[in-house]
Chain A
Amino acid sequence: MNPTEFDLPIGTKIYKVSDLNFEIRNEIEGVFSNIWVEGEISNFAYPNKKHMYFSLVDEFSMIKVAMFENNCKDLPFSIENGIHVYVNGYVSIYDKRSEYQIIAYNIIPVKKGSLLLAFEQLKKKLQELGMFDESIKKNIPILPSKIGVITSKNGAVIKDIIKILNKRYGNYHLILRNSLVQGNDAPKEIIKAIDDLEEYKVDVIIIARGGGSFEDLAPFNDEELAMRIFKCKIPIISGVGHQTDFTICDFVADKRAATPTHAAEIVILNKEEALFKINKNKEKIFNIISSKINMHKKEIKSLISRKIFKYPKSLLNLMWQQYDNLNEDFKNSYINLIKLKRNNFQLIKSKINLKSILEKIKRNKIILNNNFLFLKNNYNAYIIFKKNILNVILEKIDSFNPINILKKGYSIVKNKKLNKTIRSIKEVDINDEVLILFIDGFAESKIIAKNLKNMFLK
């Protein structure tokens, strides 16, 4: 092949790469020499606290920004991801990579970045709805028979999870449900993935994604996704981003894992540890029961070695002997007691003089008779006296007898219902039914009028 065939026309200007970049840079720096740009800070880095690097983003686009040491020092506030700022500077080209970027002189905060603001607002709302409450979180099973994982099939995350599961358990059953985990369509895809895994019935679901910027993790701050996670009947572990990243998904999930790897550690027990624990318990049970049996064996042995079991007759003989001794003792002391009582009786008998006692009885008999006579006479007189008093009282009582009063022409009025004598006009009402009692019968009547005037007083 003849290289001259490809020679360019004479006079053609040929740039070296670096020259071209240099010229473009001059061009651009000339046009955008002192500009203000508004955006949200993302992917902020400040290595060794010297120069700052970050991206300035809005909803459609991003541009890289660098700010050098001398300008950084003058900033009155600290730069962080998500804040909304105006950046003042010029546009330049980073020759080595042909990347254009803003070299910033100054940064002024506008207000909190809208994404971060939205995050904080949603977080507050869901928190107030009680969706983060520990009390409603479902328990994560320690030995799930089917583990569902929602993540990108092609990412590193699923491989990391498998690696951990291999180490921890070995014979696990994993169901991957491939999904986008970045971009605007990610939340809807993840929701669909949850639907599918719920329908397929796994025991636990991991939603996982590797680290990224605040914007990268935005799908996990989606309200609809949060609601879906909240309503899922299967416990969900969220393992999104790095240790320091918190998303709405993390808060609403039943368990937050710091990273996808961590999620894999939470989702199933460590088989070796479990085996160790079970075997340890088994061993304990055997030890306890065998020592218990040994103890009882010893007890029985010592019981058997007792005399009663060894020489049962000798013990019985001993008891008979004791019985005989006691019996003998009892007999002797009984005989002694009788002897003693007999002696006492003889002694007392000898002291009593029968003749003088008989005379004393005779005397007392005469006194007693006299007293009795006296008492009888007095008592009769007393009875007669009391009888007379009684007769007087009876006569008096008779004069108050209501029957006698009725004989004189009075009658008694009774309330028929209450069967109670009426003593006052106040105790009757119009239409009350009353009984009028006469000496020789009664009449039923009804009160038709009532007058409080007393007929006996004038």
Chain B
Amino acid sequence: MDIDKLTFEEAIAKLEEVVKNLEDENITLDNAMEKFELGVKLSEYCLKKLNEAEKKIEELTRNEKGQLEVNEINLSEDNNDI
């Protein structure tokens, strides 16, 4: 499975599936090791995804030529909470 191509939702769902598989007592050791490896990769991937983006607040407008453009704006004068 190509983990990098999963969406966050898919990765989370896969991770939960892996946990469920591992919780099955009849799983063979070989299979469990394989799932373990996959589970670790998935959780690392999810954590990476969560921190991937950079905070940005932009405004979408059209310029004189009618082309879309985005410019950073500052609307968050009262956002010092975090």
Q: Are chains A and B native binding partners rather than an unrelated pairing?
A: yes
On chain B, the residues within 8 Å of A153 by CB distance are 59, 73, 75
Fill in one digit per residue for B48-82: 1 if any A CB lies within 8 Å of its CB, else 0: 01111111111111100000101001011011011
Interface residues on chain B, size class: 35 or more
CB distance from A274 to the nearest CB of B (A): 6
Question: B59 touches which one: A171, A177, A281, A292 (CB < 8 A)?
Answer: A177
- A-B Cβ contacts below 8 A, count: 122
On chain B, the residues within 8 Å of A197 by CB distance are 60
Given A166-B82, A271-B50: A173 and B56 within 8 A (CB)? yes
Given A171-B53, A174-B57, A278-B15: A200 and B68 within 8 A (CB)? yes
On chain B, the residues within 8 Å of A145 by CB distance are 52-53
Question: CB distance A175 to B29 under 8 Å?
Answer: no
Question: A162 touches which one: B33, B39, B53, B75 (CB < 8 A)?
Answer: B75
Question: CB distance A296 to B29 under 8 Å?
Answer: yes
Fill in one digit per residue for B37-51: 1 if any A CB lies within 8 Å of its CB, else 0: 001100100110111
Question: CB distance A289 to B32 under 8 Å?
Answer: yes
Question: CB distance A285 to B19 under 8 Å?
Answer: yes
Question: CB distance A274 to B50 under 8 Å?
Answer: yes
Given A175-B70, A200-B68: A289 and B8 within 8 A (CB)? no
Question: CB distance A176 to B18 under 8 Å?
Answer: no
Asked whether any CB of chain A lies closer than 8 Å to the CB of B9, the reply is: yes
CB distance from A198 to the nearest CB of B (A): 11
Fill in one digit per residue for A59-86: 1 if any B CB lies within 8 Å of its CB, else 0: 0000000000000000000000000000
On chain B, the residues within 8 Å of A105 by CB distance are none
Which of A148, A178, A289, A293 has most chain B Cβ within 10 Å? A289
Question: B22 touches which one: A163, A289, A296 (CB < 8 A)?
Answer: A289
On chain B, the residues within 8 Å of A167 by CB distance are 81-82
On chain B, the residues within 8 Å of A158 by CB distance are 75
Question: CB distance A176 to B36 under 8 Å?
Answer: no
On chain A, the residues within 8 Å of B32 by CB distance are 288-289, 292
Asked whether any CB of chain B lies closer than 8 Å to the CB of A313, the reply is: no
Question: CB distance B60 to A175 under 8 Å?
Answer: yes
Given A174-B58, A200-B70: A278 and B9 within 8 A (CB)? no
On chain B, the residues within 8 Å of A292 by CB distance are 22, 29, 32
Question: CB distance B81 to A275 under 8 Å?
Answer: no
CA of A197 to CA of B36, assembled, Å = 41
Question: CB distance B39 to A281 under 8 Å?
Answer: yes
Question: CB distance B68 to A176 under 8 Å?
Answer: no
Question: CB distance B78 to A159 under 8 Å?
Answer: yes
Question: CB distance A143 to B50 under 8 Å?
Answer: yes
CA of A364 to CA of B57, assembled, Å = 127
Given A171-B51, A171-B54: A166 and B40 within 8 A (CB)? no
Fill in one digit per residue for A151-186: 1 if any B CB lies within 8 Å of its CB, else 0: 001000011001100110011111111100000000
Which of B9, B23, B40, B46 has most chain A Cβ within 10 Å? B46
On chain A, the residues within 8 Å of B18 by CB distance are 285
CB distance from B41 to the nearest CB of A (A): 11
On chain B, the residues within 8 Å of A162 by CB distance are 57, 75-76, 79
CB distance from A166 to the nearest CB of B (A): 5
Question: CB distance B78 to A173 under 8 Å?
Answer: no
On chain B, the residues within 8 Å of A143 by CB distance are 7-9, 49-50
Asked whether any CB of chain A lies closer than 8 Å to the CB of B4, the reply is: no
**Chain A, residue nearest B15 (CB):** A281
Asked whether any CB of chain B lies closer than 8 Å to the CB of A142, the reply is: yes
Question: CB distance A200 to B50 under 8 Å?
Answer: no
CA of A120 to CA of B31, assembled, Å = 59
CA of A60 to CA of B40, assembled, Å = 65
CA of A346 to CA of B16, assembled, Å = 86
Asked whether any CB of chain B lies closer than 8 Å to the CB of A417, the reply is: no
Question: A178 touches which one: B33, B50, B51, B59 (CB < 8 A)?
Answer: B59
Asked whether any CB of chain B lies closer than 8 Å to the CB of A199, the reply is: yes
CB distance from B37 to the nearest CB of A (A): 9
**Chain A, residue nearest B27 (CB):** A292
Question: CB distance A278 to B47 under 8 Å?
Answer: yes
Question: A159 touches which one: B9, B61, B76 (CB < 8 A)?
Answer: B76
Question: CB distance B59 to A285 under 8 Å?
Answer: no
On chain B, the residues within 8 Å of A175 by CB distance are 58-60, 70
A-B contact pairs, 27 of them (CB 8 A): A159-B76, A162-B75, A170-B55, A170-B82, A174-B57, A175-B59, A175-B60, A176-B57, A176-B73, A177-B59, A178-B59, A178-B61, A200-B60, A274-B12, A274-B50, A278-B46, A278-B50, A281-B43, A282-B39, A282-B43, A284-B19, A285-B43, A288-B22, A288-B23, A288-B32, A292-B22, A292-B29
Closest 5 CB pairs of A and B: A143-B8, A285-B39, A282-B43, A289-B36, A288-B22
18 new A-B contacts, CB < 8 A, other than A278-B46, A281-B43, are A142-B8, A142-B9, A143-B7, A158-B75, A162-B57, A162-B76, A163-B79, A167-B81, A171-B54, A172-B55, A178-B61, A197-B60, A200-B70, A271-B50, A278-B47, A282-B39, A288-B19, A288-B32
